[in-house]
Amino acid sequence: MRSFFSTLLLLNWGLLILLLAIALGIMFLKDFTIPILHPVLYFLFVLLAIYGTFYMSSAVAKRVVDPLSLLEEKTREINAGDFGAELSYPDIRELAQLTMSINEMATRLKNQFLDLNVEKEKFNSLLQNLKEGVFAIDSNGKILFQNRNIPFALVAPGSQALDFTKAIIHKGLLNFIKTQMKEKSEGKIEFEMGYHEYSVRFYPIQNNGIVYLFVGVVSEITEDRQYERIREQFFQNASHELKTPITSIKGYAETLEIKLQLSEDSGEKKFLNAILRNTERMIRIVEDMLTVTKLEQHTTICQPEEFKIYELVRNIGDSVGVLISRKNQELIIDIDPKLEVYADLVLMEHLLINLISNASSYSPESTSILVRVKELEKFYLLEVADQGIGISPEDRERIFERFFRVDSNRSRKEGGTGLGLSIVKHIAKLHKGKVEVNSNPGGGSIFAIEFPKKAYLPT
Ligand code: ADP
């Protein structure tokens, strides 16, 4: 295979040699022909030279242009997604190399295209077979895809390329999605439809602050909710049923203690004391269970009023003082004495007692407990920070569940019921607020409760 340059050189030389040979031939023939024919011979020579040059140029052009137009056609086909068969190689080296590159590119693109198709199919079948319903909306508000597990009453089937306002049938869901899309934020909504309950999580997929699409995941939560109700029911029944027998056990044990007049070091006295200690503990558990039940059933009504939170914390400090001073701990109050909050005084007291006594129980001796209240634009932020053992990130969500303890032995030893934080969570909720726990930069935990000011209470 020759290069374009050598092909051109060879053809030129070939033509030159041919013309020289013909010129020599004509000069030789000239002596044997009559002079009148000489101009004819010269004319023929010129004609031959012109034809030869033309023929050579077109032959060279053809050898270049034909493979080039084939290449052009091939790239057009590739562009249109048709990879077809490989091109045959022309005999000019540079063009052969270009053809080889294009053939290789076509093969690579074809393989990538096939791989992409396989991936797309895999993704599609995964999406279609998910238990959850999944749909996506592009940045122009058109439905990009939806799987078959979305209830028809939420999103109309076969809504691809339709505007989401037309595709989403459920009014509540539609309003929620409109708000989330406007705010470009992640959110969750739960609602009932007939006998079914659904939860829809909706979030934007973004890169460098630009939202490319929004994805919605629909899960049926009917069963979960039923189990939750059964659990709550059991919890309520148990707390009600246990209250009377435990109180009477305590009553009988106390009567026995008085009647028997046992000496302090007798075995019977030790047994009686153990019975009394454990019934006290059970009473505390049952009382907390009843509190949770009342908060859950909304039998406890939140009756907010304006009061100075500093005074409340100071009074609590006095009542939990024994607990704190036993461990040589210090309670620091960082609250503006004039600051008034709008909350239920009794419930707030309950919440603070739980948080401060936890802070004391789960911290070593000679540490400080800080109670701080900040007034933000729309909220109050109440924080209880300790320098204690801290809570691992994976336990932070769970500690608000009923009876969840990171270390059951320690909790029991501290006289805990495992329900304090569940009560805290419910009280925060009753105030339309929320509670979260973070780690204290100086070691330990910070429990933060955020609840709205009077003017910003949701209606
Ligand atoms: P308990 O009666 O066991 O204290 P709570 O509901 O008040 O129950 O707390 C649940 C669990 O959360 C506790 O058992 C403990 O493991 C953890 N916890 C609560 N407060 C703190 C804290 N300030 N520091 C570390 N762990 C805590």
Listed residue (182, 176, 185) closest to 203, CA to CA? 185
Q: What is the pLDDT along the chain (459 residues), one digit of tens a residue?
A: 778 888 888 888 988 998 898 888 888 887 888 888 888 888 888 998 899 889 888 988 888 888 899 889 988 988 888 887 888 888 888 888 999 999 899 899 999 999 999 999 998 898 888 999 999 999 999 999 999 999 998 999 999 899 999 999 999 999 999 999 999 989 999 999 889 999 999 999 988 889 999 999 999 999 999 998 898 899 989 999 999 999 999 999 999 999 988 888 899 999 999 999 999 999 999 999 999 999 988 888 899 999 999 999 999 998 898 989 999 999 999 999 999 999 999 999 999 999 999 999 999 999 999 999 999 999 999 999 999 999 999 999 899 999 999 998 888 888 889 999 999 999 999 999 999 999 988 899 999 999 999 999 887
Output the CA angle 164-167-171, nearest 5 degrees.
Answer: 90
Q: Which of 291, 399, 423 to mutate to test the pocket of ligand 1 (most atoms within 8 A of CB)?
A: 399
User: Which contacts (CB < 8 Å, 24+ apart) does range 140-144 have?
Assistant: 141/165, 141/181, 143/167, 144/213
Ligand 1 atom with the smallest distance to the CA of 386 is 23
User: What pLDDT is attached to residue 133?
Assistant: 94
Q: Is the CB of 433 under 6 A from ligand 1?
A: no
User: What pLDDT is attached to residue 438?
Assistant: 94
Residue closest via CA to ligand 1's atom 2 equals 416
Q: State in Å: Cα 223 to ligand 1 middle.
A: 29
Q: State in Å: Cα 151 to ligand 1 middle.
A: 41
CA 53 to chain centre: 73
| Count of Cβ atoms closer than 10 Å to residue 411 Cβ | 19
Q: Distance of CA 124 to CAs 117, 120, 206, 218, 261, Å? A: 10, 6, 21, 17, 79
Q: Is the CB of 218 under 6 A from ligand 1?
A: no
Q: Is the CB of 304 under 6 A from ligand 1?
A: no
Residue closest via CA to ligand 1's atom 13 equals 405
User: What pLDDT is attached to residue 249?
Assistant: 95
User: What pLDDT is attached to residue 244?
Assistant: 92
Q: Is the CB of 420 under 6 A from ligand 1?
A: yes
Per the structure block, which two tokens stand in for 217?
Answer: 């995941």
Q: Is the CB of 323 under 6 A from ligand 1?
A: no
Query: Could you tell me the strand order of the sheet in which 379-385 lies?
Result: 330-334, 368-375, 379-385, 445-452, 434-439
Q: State in Å: Cα 422 to ligand 1 middle.
A: 10
H/E/C letters for each residue in 337-370? Answer: CCCEEEECHHHHHHHHHHHHHHHHHCCCCCCEEE
Q: Is the CB of 145 under 6 A from ligand 1?
A: no
In sequence order, what are the residues at sequence separation of 6 or more whose Cβ sits closer than 8 angstroms to the Cβ of residue 252? none
Per the structure block, which two tokens stand in for 441?
Answer: 């930069």
Q: State in Å: Cα 391 to ligand 1 middle.
A: 9
Q: Which of 421, 424, 447 to mutate to test the pocket of ligand 1 (most atoms within 8 A of CB)?
A: 421
Residue closest via CA to ligand 1's atom 3 equals 418
What torsion do the CA atoms of 269, 272, 278, 284 make, to the nearest 10 degrees?
-110
Strand partners, 450: 381, 434
Report the alpha-carbon distance of residue 146 to residue 335 in Å, rounded: 52
Q: State in Å: Cα 381 to ligand 1 middle.
A: 21
Q: Distance of CA 79 to CAs 21, 84, 101, 109, 223, Å? A: 51, 12, 15, 10, 52
Report the alpha-carbon distance of residue 127 to residue 263 in Å, rounded: 74
Q: Is the CB of 391 under 6 A from ligand 1?
A: yes
Residue closest via CA to ligand 1's atom 8 equals 418
Residue closest via CA to ligand 1's atom 14 equals 405
User: What pLDDT is attached to residue 199?
Assistant: 96
Report the alpha-carbon distance of residue 92 to residue 319 in Å, rounded: 99
Q: Distance of CA 453 to CAs 306, 342, 344, 424, Å? A: 10, 6, 12, 18
User: What pLDDT is attached to residue 368?
Assistant: 96
Residue with token string 């495992």: 418
Ligand 1 atom with the smallest distance to the CA of 415 is 2
Q: Is the CB of 355 under 6 A from ligand 1?
A: no
Phi-psi sector, 345: left (phi>0), alpha (psi -120 to 50), beta: alpha
Q: Which of 282, 350, 411 to mutate to test the pocket of ligand 1 (most atoms within 8 A of CB)?
A: 411
Q: Which of 362, 423, 426, 439 to mutate to test the pocket of ligand 1 (most atoms within 8 A of CB)?
A: 362
User: What pLDDT is attached to residue 25?
Assistant: 85
Q: Is the CB of 396 under 6 A from ligand 1?
A: no
Residue with token string 């705010």: 183
Whether 190 contacts 222, CB under 8 Å:
no
Integer-rounded Cα radius of gyration of the chain? 44
User: What pLDDT is attached to residue 28?
Assistant: 85
What is the DSSP secondary-structure string of 229-269? Answer: HHHHHHHHHHHHHHHHHHHHHHHHHHHHHHHH---TTSHHH
